[in-house]
Structure 1
Amino acid sequence: MTDYMEVAAPTASNAGARNFAGAFRSADRWFGAVVETIAAGLVLVEIGIMLAGVVMRYVFHNPLIWSDELASILFLWLSMLGAVIALRRGEHMRMTGLVSHVGPGARAFLDTIAAVAPLALLALILHPAFDYASEEQIIVTPALEISNAWRAAAIPVGMTLMAVVAAIRLATHHRPALIVAAFATTAVLIAAFWLAGPLLAPLGRTNLIIFFVGVVAANVFTGVPIAFSFALATFGYLALTTSTPMMVMVGRLDEGMSHLILLAVPLFIFLGALIEMTGMARAMIQFLASLLGHVRGGLSYVLIGAMYLVSGISGSKIADMAAIAPVLLPEMRRRGAKPGDLVALLSATGAQTETIPPSIVLITIGSVTGVSIAALFTGGLLPALVVGTALCVVVWRRYRHEDLSHVRRASKREIAKLAIVALPAILLPFVIRTAVVEGVATATEVSTIGIAYAVLMGLLVYRQFPWRRLKSMLVETASLTGAIIFIIGCATAMAWGLTQSGFSQQLAKTMAAIPGGAYGFLAISILAFVVLGSVLEGIPAIVLFGPLLFPIAKQAGVHEVHYAMVVILAMGIGLFAPPFGVGYYGACAISKISPDEGLKHIWSYVAALFIGLAVVAAVPWLSIGFLKF
């Protein structure tokens, strides 16, 4: 021990290294505080602009013609700064199922590779991004009459900041030897592809497999964030096998991130955070528990019902589960529920509620495919109810012999009191969905109305509004928004590359040849999206394949809203089913239960999800029966 201590004693070089690392950490804190403050401010400004637009249009009948344009400009800046924050926090979506199962040494190396890969992409694409912003100078916006470069500059500025963040994370989170090894490996791979360029060009569509299957899979399974995996594959394909200027790729990325309907994403994320902070979610759950708490398996039914009410508003299934689990799971444990069954049901309810409006996945589908948001909102309620009923059957079978002799049944007076308290909270999801479906307001506009409603309820009714949490909520909103929108941008660029290659036409011919007509097409789509949901998660999968498959579904005779519900539920099952579904591990983290405990309990719930999905796929009326034709 003495010898070891003498060897490990501080030296001048060790002290210098610590000072160097300390300087990086200090720079990281300063840099992070500045970017987070600006991003939080942009979220507030966006809410203010959209709310002002709604008030001027519907109250004073004097619309602000510049509000949407200004909101769109600021939204791109918010998305890019949010992507910077997400990269700094390590919150970009990534697949870690395989990385977590290798040894500590290999895992450390792969984690370093996953940190170097984004930096490599940013170094490659930064110059085209600045060229793209420069080209946008000649375009003048119609309402504000300013150069479009003010908006487009968000892309190169955001990428520069991401490069800075990636470099700081490398210096502060990874060992120097691993950094050198990761840089060397990445450089060798890039050089190998570059030198192989003349050999790749004549291969034609074989390059689609090399880049969009091989490169994407290698990056995703190595733990590289999904957005950067898509972008690296797209950049490599376009640069090495086509004559397309890289500035075009940046333009497609911009296009994917600039749909105004996507502005609903940060607004609904913030609304979901408000619902939890103001106690509205807790009020809903307590009321449902008073109704069903005395029934065998009653709290499990409450969990399913609470996810149905709350789901979709926050934009994050993890946020939905985090709002509900701390309230219900401790009491369910006290009643004797097995921890593994709790996490299994929590995970299954996440998959069940993917179609419930105002789901961010629904908004994304509407954005990339052109399907009516109001129609998607109308079509999503019954499919989730069918799948939820299938889960309730499993709950009934498991808890039909539960001992409730120690459970007190709530009195009618207590139920009535809790109902009054919960009423403002219960009304909010229905007001949001009704306003969009009836055409009273767009998905973006109604989110601002919901925010104003939640703030008033928190201040005046529930008397719970901790102001100190506001900034952290705004920063978390920006981070999640950046992670989601940057994926959409990168997936849009990748989908464009696939389309330009002729892949979409070939895919259409292949899918059209599947026997069984519409039901054969639905069956193969279910299998495909279960796999895609487990690997890519819902939003990147739908952005990548939605524009390709929805037209084919229409040709096969499948209604686009019906198809949307089927593929969303299929992706939800993939997202929350082990061993690859990251949603399952999110549920385990929130409930603080080991993933191993849930494995033996979850398969009956997964079976119920598949049965519910089969019913939804077989009966189109469940998705389109209430649409206005």
Structure 2
Amino acid sequence: MAAVQHSHAGHGGDAAVPPPRWVAALDGVLGPLIEIPAALLVVAEIIVLMAGVVSRYVLHRPIVWSDELASILFLWLAMLGAVVAFRRGEHMRMTALTGMAAPATRAFLDVVAVAAPLAFLAMIVGPALEFAEEEAFITTPALDLANSWRAAALPVGCLLMLAVGALRLLKVADWRHTVGALALVAAVAGGFWALEPLFRGLGNLNLLVFFVGLVAVGVLAGVPIAFAFGLATFGYLALTTHTPLLVLVGRMDEGMSHLILLSVPLFVFLGLLIEMTGMAAAMVSFLASLLGHVRGGLSYVLVGAMYLVSGISGSKAADMAAVAPVLFPEMKARGAKPGDLVALLSATGAQTETIPPSLVLITLGSVTGVSISALFTGGMLPGVVLAVTLCAVVWWRYRNEDLSNVRRATGSEIGRKFLIALPALALPFVIRAAVVEGVATATEVSTIGIVYSVLAGLLIYRRFDWSRLGPMLVDTASLSGAILLIIGAATGMAWALTQSGFSGQLAGAMAALPGGAVMFMAVSIVAFIILGSVLEGIPAIVLFGPLLFPIARQMGIHDVHFAMVVILSMGVGLFAPPFGVGYYAACAISRIHPDEGMKPIIGYILALIVGLIVVAAVPWISIGFLG
């Protein structure tokens, strides 16, 4: 899931002054200079990967350098995307607590959410430059290029983020917030630096100070999650170990450079594309004609539509943005309460986390080594189980719905809508068949979906708004950069935890739990529900997946079964208020106030937990079709 909370630093007050004109002018120039290359990199990746598929499968003459070039471009896309996200205030933050604060406090914390990342970037840019210089001694095998061409993306990205962050601070209306935030961040950094001799003697208690205390304070104060992780890891390595800091940059590079993660931006773009071309609307319209006359029918359609769209886009934000605007107006016209709508939308977000090509599945496969195609196969049925439990709640809530004004669609209407929806309904099966038949890898298959969607939009649905293409590519780069920077920072943090010996201690403690595999599974469910709500799904998976999967294997739990339980648990936490950031994304997309959905969502969350327990108790649901 990729949910974003925008930070709008600075609110008026008696000290409010408009920013100097040169600041706005400079920002206006810098924006396109970053956004245009980022958008072009998304296009370049699509072309390179599609060329690889065509040359290998159609022409039987593989391009040996395509993966290499894609890898070089990918790190630049990730870093420029992260810069775009930082400029727009779109890096993932937990704003549940800051949202409850008084307006002046909230405005101050919004500025801290810019100042703290600047501190991390200022400290990491030196090691990033050193890392890029070291990579000059390595050359790529096919293109014979120095690896520094790729690694240079890291220091360039950091410098650009420093520039846009400084401009954001200059644009803050109340200069006292800026001065106060910078002073606070400097005081905290100085205090930690002064305490270095104390930290050196604390041993593994430092893990609590940095990875529990500092991360918790940062995340709860609204500092973007990637930078909260980065600050904690940098502080731990700099103040308690003798590890060269370029090692941290190397681990971040490793986390962000996994070629399988290249499917993240491409599936994000595919999600935006199916909404723009009308494919999502065609699917929803067909489902509504089938079930619109049933009590709670459109709620069943919402569950089914999210299942189908998730099988195409991989991005929860894209799924919700494709389905909600199509269904909600008619559901409201039939008397559905806004709170119930956003509650069910959030619940379906959690329910469909395992439906391929979920970005969380792709991330988990990349960090744990579990087969992506096995995860894609295993993820279908758990989503159905949770859909059934959600539908049971829908049936109960809408059993007395008044349908006297609802007209039942005729057979010919259903048939016509089915024919219109058929190209859209076929897309999930095209994507799955391409992976299973070996036409394309899990990374490449998104390009087949993109080409299919473009052709369907142009030739069948005749809906293709060329003017939206540029903003969609920039949005793709921004969301991808935000996700990938979190993965990079979490990879660095997971490495530091492993080096400290914590992972071994955790493994020992989990393996020693009474009750064996059943207790281990139960503890994992509770842990990932909590982690999903506080950390977001992807960082939770990157941090704890590599630690817990080996223990699960020792206990005889199948990798794919454990993956489904972990991902669904994390999804429940991600979409459950008051902390779940996915819930607030659903509210933002629906334009419904979060307070309205708090009560209705309780029933749906309980239904999800029941479904989750069934999936955990019956391994066949996850692994029955693996063959």
TM exceeding 0.5? yes
Moved more, 553-562 or 525-534: 553-562
Post-superposition CA distance 1:404-423 (Å, at most 9, x none): 11111111101111000100
User: Post-superposition shift, 1:315?
Assistant: 3.7
1:41-120 alignment runs, 5 A limit: 41-120=40-119
**1:238-286 superposed Cα distances (whole Å, 9 cap, x missing partner):** 0000000000000000000111111111111111111011000000000
Distance apart, 1:142 and its partner CA? 0.3
Equivalent in the alignment of 2:533: 534
Q: Which residue of 2 aligns with 1:188?
A: 187
1:517-574 deviation digits (Å, cap 9, x = unpaired): 1111110011110011111111011011111111111112211111110011111111
3-state DSSP of counterpart to 1:82: helix
Displacement after TM superposition at 1:177 (Å): 1.1
2:150: which partner in 1? 151
Paired with 2:172 and 2:461, the residues of 1 have a C-alpha distance of 42
The Cα offsets for residues 140-180 of structure 1, whole Å up to 9 and x where unpaired, read as 11000010000000000000001101111111135211111
Partner AA of 1:377 in structure 2: F
Cα deviation for residue 481 of structure 1 reads: 0.7
Q: Does residue 136 of structure 1 match 2:135?
A: yes
Instruction: Number of aligned residue pairs: give it.
Output: 613
State the match for 1:413 in structure 2. Answer: 412
Q: Give yes or no for contact 1:308–1:356 (8 Å, CA) kept in 2.
A: yes
> What is the CA-CA distance between 1:319 and the residue it aligns to?
1.7
CA distance in 2, matches of 1:562, 1:41: 39
Deviations 1:555-606 (A, max 9, x none): 1221111111001111111111111111111111222222111112111101
1:253 paired to 2:252: yes
Shift of 1:314: 3.0
How far apart, in 1, do the equivalents of 2:484 and 2:317 lie? 17
Aligned to 2:212: 213
Task: Give the corresponding residue for 2:508.
Answer: 509
Aligned-partner residue type, residue 293 of structure 2: H
Is it true that 1:588 corresponds to 2:587 in the alignment?
Answer: yes
Q: In structure 2, how many angstroms separate the alpha carbons of the residues matched to 1:72 and 1:125? A: 22
Counterpart of 2:622, as a letter, is: S
Name the residue aligned to 2:201: 202
Aligned to 1:603: 602
Tell me, what secondary structure is at the counterpart of 2:444?
A: helix
Match of 1:7 in 2: none
Deviation at 1:116, TM superposition (A): 0.2
Verify: 1:489 aligned to 2:514, yes or no: no
CA contact (8 A) 1:137 1:149 kept: yes
Structure 1 position 336, deviation (Å): 1.1
2:456 corresponds to? 457
Distance 2:342 2:104 in 1: 30
Aligned residue number for residue 3 of structure 1 = none
1:241 matched residue in structure 2: 240
Deviates more, 1:438-447 or 1:599-608: 438-447
Offset from partner CA, 1:383-413 (integer Å, 9 cap, x none): 0100010000000011111111111111110
Q: CA RMSD in A?
A: 1.2
Quote the residue 1:8 is aligned against.
none
| 1:308 and 2:307 correspond | yes
Q: Who is 1:354 aligned against?
A: 353
| Number of the residue aligned with 1:437 | 436
- The SS at the match of 1:173 is coil
Shift of 1:476: 0.5
- 2:370 and 2:399 map into 1 onto residues whose CA distance is 43
Q: Which whole-Å CA distance do the structure 2 matches of 1:181 and 1:447 have between them?
A: 46
1:375 shift after superposition = 0.4
* Amino acid in structure 1 at the alignment position of 2:500: S
Pair 1:574 & 2:566 matched: no
Determine the C-alpha separation between the residues in 2 that align with 1:64 and 1:434.
23
Distance 1:236 1:533 in 2: 24
- Aligned partner of 1:328 in structure 2 is 327
Deviation of 1:513 after TM superposition, in Å, equals 1.1
Q: Which amino acid aligns with 1:153?
A: A
Residue in 1 that maps onto 2:469: 470
Distance 2:292 2:103 in 1: 45
Cα distance in structure 2, aligned partners of 1:40 and 1:173 = 28
Deviation at 1:434, TM superposition (A): 2.7
2:274 alignment partner AA: I
Task: Please state whether the residue corresponding to 1:426 is helix, strand or coil.
Answer: helix
Distance 1:398 1:564 in 2: 32
Q: Counterpart of 2:312 in 1: which secondary structure?
A: coil
Q: Which residue of the partner structure matches residue 6 of structure 2? A: none
CA distance in 1, matches of 2:111, 2:312: 35
Within 2, Cα distance between the matches of 1:188 and 1:312?
A: 48
- Counterpart in 2 of 1:275? 274
Amino acid at match of 2:65: W
Conserved? CA contact 1:377–1:437, under 8 Å: no
How far did residue 438 of structure 1 move?
4.0
- Alpha-carbon deviation of 1:618? 0.5
Q: State how far apart, in whole Å, the 1-side matches of 2:189 and 2:356 are.
A: 43
Provide the rounded CA distance (Å) in 2 between the counterparts of 1:600 and 1:129. Answer: 47
Instruction: State the partner residue of 1:548.
Output: 547
Q: Which moved more, 1:413-422 or 1:585-594?
A: 585-594
Query: Contact conserved, 1:312 with 1:360, CA < 8 A, in 2?
Result: no
The Cα of 1:330 is off from its aligned counterpart by 0.7
Q: How far is 1:312 from its partner? A: 5.1
- 2:236 counterpart SS class: helix
Specify the code of the residue in structure 1 equivalent to 2:580: G
Deviations 1:72-128, CA, capped at 9 Å, x for gaps: 000000000000000011111000000011111211221111110000001111101
Q: Which amino acid aligns with 2:527?
A: A
Counterpart amino acid of residue 419 in structure 1:
F
Contact 1:378 1:437 in 2 (8 A): no
Residue correspondence of structure 1 range 362-377 to structure 2 within 5 A: 362-377=361-376
Gaps in structure 2 of 5+ consecutive residues: 1-14
Query: In structure 1, how many angstroms separate the alpha carbons of the residues matched to 2:436 and 2:220?
Result: 40
Provide the rounded CA distance (Å) in 2 between the counterparts of 1:580 and 1:438.
41
**Contact 1:312 1:354 (C-alpha < 8 Å) held by counterparts:** no
SS of 2:243's equivalent in the other structure is coil
Structure 1: distance between partners of 2:262 and 2:288: 35
The separation in 1 between residues aligned to 2:314 and 2:476, in whole angstroms, is 10
| C-alpha distance in structure 2 between counterparts of 1:516 and 1:311, whole Å | 36
In the aligned structure 1, how far is the partner of 2:226 from the partner of 2:443?
Answer: 24
Q: After the TM superposition, which of the residue ranges 183-192 and 78-87 deviates more from structure 2?
A: 183-192
Maintained 8 Å contact 2:561/2:622? yes
Aligned to 1:29: 28
Structure 1 letter corresponding to 2:292:
G
Identity of aligned residues (%): 68
Letter in 1 for 2:253: D
Partner of 1:167: 166
Encode CA deviations 1:401-450: one digit per residue, 9 max, x unaligned.
Answer: 11111111111101111000100000101211232234332111111111
Conserved? CA contact 2:378–2:560, under 8 Å: yes
Deviations 1:357-387 (A, max 9, x none): 0000000001000000000001001101000
Partner residue of 2:286? Answer: 287
Is the contact between residue 133 and residue 152 of structure 1 (CA under 8 Å) also seen in structure 2?
Answer: yes
- Verify the 8 A CA contact 2:354 2:564 in the aligned structure 1: yes
